Amino acid sequence: MKIAIGCDHGGYELKEQLRRYLSNNGHEVVDCGTYSVESVHYPVFAKMVAKKVQRGDVERGIVVCTTGEGVAIAANRYKGVRCGIAYNDEVARLMRAHNDANVISFGARFTSLEDAIRRVELFLNTNFEGGRHQIRVEMLDED
């Protein structure tokens, strides 16, 4: 799958680990930065990931900051982007099944690599259920 990934300084280490994991497992990863632990502004990197998802350049996005909150808030400002914070495994599955999430967010300070990998796999491998959830997802893009 083609996946965009981005982070701020707080998410850099986890982003790098996830990027390597995904590349080693056959995915095409578009790395939107940041590329070091030097302090940066998270909206810049969340926007790069969100715009790639919005344009259909990639199928899914991953954003990481210290808490997972800033990058999720930023990503969700772009129409057509649905970003959920994966605070446990079941939520990572449900954000796909019920919300058709196309971006997943992690708080690096609160998420081990093992947990993040399991949740990314759930995010990538769970289908949207549609049905009663379809109209709700469509409503998200109404003005």
| Active-site residue, 65 included | yes
Region of 43-51, 64-72, 116-124, 134-142 interacting with ligand RB5 (CB under 6 A): 64-72
Range 2-21, binding ligand RB5 (CB under 6 A): 8, 10
Give the nearest distance from C-beta 44 to ligand RB5 in angstroms.
12
Stretch that binds ligand RB5, among 66-74, 95-103, 112-120, 135-143 (CB under 6 A): 66-74
Spatial separation of the C-alpha atoms in residues 89 and 92, rounded to whole Å: 5
At 23, list the tokens: 């590349």
Question: Any catalytic annotation for residue 9?
Answer: no
Out of 28, 69, 138, 141, the only residue in the binding site for ligand RB5 (CB under 6 A) is 69
Closest contact distance (angstroms) between CB of 107 and ligand RB5 is 7
Q: Which of 41, 65, 83, 133 is catalytic?
A: 65
Question: Which residues between 103 and 132 bind ligand RB5 (CB under 6 A)?
Answer: none
DSSP result, the chain:
-EEEEEE-GGGHHHHHHHHHHHHHTT-EEEE----SSS---HHHHHHHHHHHHHHTSSSEEEEEESSSHHHHHHHTTSTT--EEE--SHHHHHHHHHTT---EEEEEGGG--HHHHHHHHHHHHHPPP--THHHHHHHHTT--
84 forms part of the interface with ligand RB5 (CB under 6 A): no
Catalytic residues: 65, 98
